[in-house]
Amino acid sequence: MGKRKKRSSDKVWCYYRDREFDDEKILVHHQKAEHFKCRVCHKKHSTAGGIAIHVLQVHKETVSQVPNANLLSTDIEVYGMQGIPSDLLEAHYGEEETNVPCIHNNLHLRAK
């Protein structure tokens, strides 16, 4: 068997801006403040779909792009690290999806 490529850090990263954070709680806070915040009333939401629905129902406008994001589509529901397509996770970490940090327990990653 070949050697597995070792990840440089156990940090989580923002799907929308490709920025790393120390833990998923900070990442979720960043996503709500930067990407899921209504530009009209400044209400924060948990997902891109949530902000799109809010803007449509409350402000009667259409949102098809995630605000302040490199990746623009609102079609993919991402919350923290959950919902990120597996091929993008592999590309970012350089290994299989099963070894990326998760919100519930990343202690096994630090024990190595």
Residue 6 predicted with pLDDT over 70: no
The model's confidence at residue 92, banded by pLDDT at 50, 70 and 90, is: confident
Q: What is the pLDDT of residues 16-38, one digit of tens each?
A: 988 999 999 999 999 999 999 99
The model's confidence at residue 71, banded by pLDDT at 50, 70 and 90, is: low
Least confidently predicted of 25-29, 39-43, 52-56, 85-89:
85-89
pLDDT of residue 41: 95
d(CA 65, CA 85): 18
Alpha helices in 12-110 (DSSP H): 24-30, 48-59, 86-93, 107-110
Q: Of residues 79 and 4, which shows the higher confidence score?
A: 79
Whether 24 contacts 81, CB under 8 Å? yes
d(CA 73, CA 62): 13
Instruction: Using a pLDDT cut of 70, give the percent of the chain over it.
Output: 74
